[in-house]
Amino acid sequence: ENQVEHSPHFLGPQQGDVASMSCTYSVSRFNNLQWYRQNTGMGPKHLLSMYSAGYEKQKGRLNATLLKNGSSLYITAVQPEDSATYFCAVVGTMGGDMRFGAGTRLTVKP
Amino acid sequence: DAGVTQSPTHLIKTRGQQVTLRCSPKSGHDTVSWYQQALGQGPQFIFQYYEEEERQRGNFPDRFSGHQFPNYSSELNVNALLLGDSALYLCASSPVGGELFFGEGSRLTVL
């Protein structure tokens, strides 16, 4: 069964710092990895998708890298509004189900 | 353009009862997936519907069933509710293989 693990579970940077988080996964087949963000009381929102090892993607202050069995997500110059839980989700086959980890809870201190 | 809508937003049931949750996908999306999210956990995949058929299923018992209608909307049914079924139930729609668009969820409390 597909497994996704996050590190760290909690992160508390100061405003303006860089927040760094990662996930590792074990899947029988890999199609793509996606990062989502979830604010309390709301559904997750898609941030970005990556498709092959070595792939890097930048979106605003987000910077993500796909590794062989994991991914790193960096948020530069974090702001209090970045506070949320960030999830990595893996799709094993094209059009297949997406498996989520438990997430990294980011709380930015003003 | 309305996103994914779910109803009801909150509901309370007692053990042994049955519940039906509803989901309308984002316009243009034909695939609907359901997830269960316990407090402090990530979403856990229940099943996915495409062309009115259950295409994939996660590790959930048969008490969890669903349906997709010709207009792509979907229902999640849970029978014989247990205390452990208390969770946020998320519906997500997508084009095939694309990113998921989530609704805000239905918060189920089982007493």
Domains of chain A by start residue, with CATH: 3-105 (2.60.40.10)
Q: How far apart are CA B111 and CA B25, in angstroms?
A: 30
- The highest-confidence range among A50-59, B77-86, B98-107, by mean pLDDT, is B77-86
* Type and span of the H or E element at B88: strand B87-94
Taking an 8 Å cut-off on Cβ atoms, the answer to whether A97 and B42 are in contact is: no
**Residue of A13, A4, A1 whose CA lies nearest to A71:** A4
Phi then psi for A39, rounded to 5 degrees?
A: -90, 155
Both tokens assigned to B54: 């259950």
Residues in A touching B35 (Cβ below 8 Å): 100
- Domain covering B5-103: architecture: Sandwich (2.60)
pLDDT at A94: 62
Signed CA dihedral, B61, B111, B88, A100: sign only: negative
Structure tokens belonging to residue B104: 């805000």
Report yes or no: A31 at the B interface, CB cutoff 8 Å.
yes
Contact state of B43 with A100 under an 8 Å Cβ cutoff: yes
Q: Is A60 an 8 Å CB contact of chain B? A: no
User: Which residues numbered 47-86 in B keep a CB inside 8 Å of some CB on A?
Assistant: 48, 50, 55-56, 58-59
Q: What is the number of alpha carbons within 13 Å of residue A82 lying toward its C-beta?
A: 25
As a whole number, mean pLDDT of residues B37-48 equals 94
Q: What percent of chain B has pLDDT over 70?
A: 97
pLDDT averaged per 10 residues in sequence order, chain A, 110 residues: 88 97 90 94 94 89 94 97 96 78 95
